[in-house]
Amino acid sequence: MLLLIALANMPWHLFGLTTDGLSMHDVEGGPLDRVWQAVALIAIDGRSYPLFAFLFGYGIVQLHRRQIDAGATPQEARSLLRRRHWWMLAFGLVHALLLWGGDIIGAYGLVGLIVCWLFLDRRDRTIAIWAGVLGGLLVLGGASSIIGGLFAGPAGDASGGFAIPSAAGQESYSASVGIRAGMWVVVLLGQGLLGLAVPAAVLLALLAARHRVLERAADHRRLLIGTAALGIAAGWAGGAVVFAHFVGAFPDLPSWTFQMLGTATGLAGGLGYAAAFGLLGSAWQRRGLGPIGRSLAAVGKRSMTSYLLQSLLFAPVLSAWGLGLGGVLAEWQGALYAVAVWLVTVVVAVLLERSGRRGPFEVLLRRLAYPRTAQTTPTAVRR
C-alpha cells in the first residue's frame, strides 16, 4: 500500500513539466514517461487511496474490538477513537504546512470522526445501504461526466486556462506553505467527504472487519477471490480509458470527461487490491512470512511513520526550495526515486522491528490519544 502511495504522490513533487490541468503527469513526456504513466493511470492513481481508506476503516473496528475485549466500556472505546481521529486531523495539518499538502492523514481523521459518530453502532444492513448509495452516486457521476463530455465536445474543455498550483516549484519555502495549506483543505474535503470513494471504502471496511474477512481469509476465500478479480479488472479497465484519453485517443472530448469514471473504478480497484492482499497474507500465514513478508509486516506496524518519512525524503530533495531535483528528473526517473524512498522506509521499519521499537509517530499518537492511565498497557483503556 505504501509503495503505491509513494508512486501516486511522486508527480506532485516534480515541477517545470507541462500538464493537462487535471493531473501532474507530463503531457510532453518521452517513451519511458509514457510507459510509467500507463502504469500510474491504469493501476495506481485513484486506486491507492481507496485501498488506504479501506485498511484505515478496517483498523477502526479492530481497535474498537480490542478495547472492548480488554474491558473498556463502549463509551470509553468511542472516546478513544474520537481523540485518535482528532489528533490525526491535527497531524495532517502540521504535515501539510511543513512538507506535503496532499496529506491524507487529516482526511481520514475527518472521515473517522464522522463514520464513528454516524455508523459505528449501526446494523450491517444500514451500513451496506449507505455504502451502496455512495457507490451508486460515484457510478452516476461517472456516467454523467461521460455524457456531459460527449455533448460538450472540445468547446467544453476549460482546463487549458487552469493550472494546479505547485508547491514544489516554489523557490521560497514560505511561499510553498500557503500553497500546501490550500491544497490540504481541498484534499481534506475532496478525499475525505466530497470525493465519495473514501467514505464508501471506509463503510465497506466496517462490514468486512465485523466479519473478520481479512483475518479469516480462508473462511471468506470465495468472496475475496471474486472481489479481487472483479475489482482489479474494473479498476484497470477504467484506468485504461483514462490513460487512452490522456494520450489523445479521444481528441474531441474535454479533458474532464473520464475523471469521475476513474474515481468510480478506482474504488473498485482499491477494494480488489485489499482482497488480493488479504489472500496473499493468508497464504503467507500458512507457509510462514519469510524475509519479505516480515519486512512488509514491519512497515505495516509503522505505517504512519513510514508515510511521513516518505514526505521527509520527497519534499526537501525534490522541491525548488530544497535541492531542486524535481525540476531535473523526468517522470519515469521520479518513479524510480519513489521506489527508492519506499525501500528506505522498509529498511527503517525493519531496523525498528529488530530493536523492538515502535514507530515514533505511532508512539506519539498513542500518547496523545490514550488516557494517561492506559499508557502502561498495550491495548486497554483502564477505568
96-127 pLDDT, tens per residue?
Answer: 999 999 999 999 999 999 999 999 999 999 99
Query: Quick one: pLDDT at residue 23?
Result: 83
Per-residue pLDDT tens over the stretch 71-88:
999 999 999 999 999 999
pLDDT confidence of 376, banded at 50, 70, 90?
A: very low
Mean pLDDT across 169-188 = 94
- pLDDT interval class at 158 (50, 70, 90): low
Q: What is the pLDDT of residue 191?
A: 80
pLDDT in tens, 211-245: 999 999 999 999 999 999 999 999 999 999 999 99
| pLDDT at site 20 | 79
Query: How would residue 190 be classed by pLDDT, with cut points 50, 70 and 90?
Result: confident
The reported pLDDT for the residue numbered 156 is 66
Q: C-alpha angle with apex 29: 25 to 34, nearest 5 degrees? A: 80
Q: What is the mean pLDDT of residues 284-299?
A: 87
Per-residue confidence band for 152, with pLDDT thresholds at 50, 70 and 90: confident
Residue 372 has pLDDT above 80, yes or no: no
Mean pLDDT of the chain: 91
Q: Report pLDDT digits (tens) over 249-284.
A: 998 888 889 999 999 999 999 999 999 999 988 888
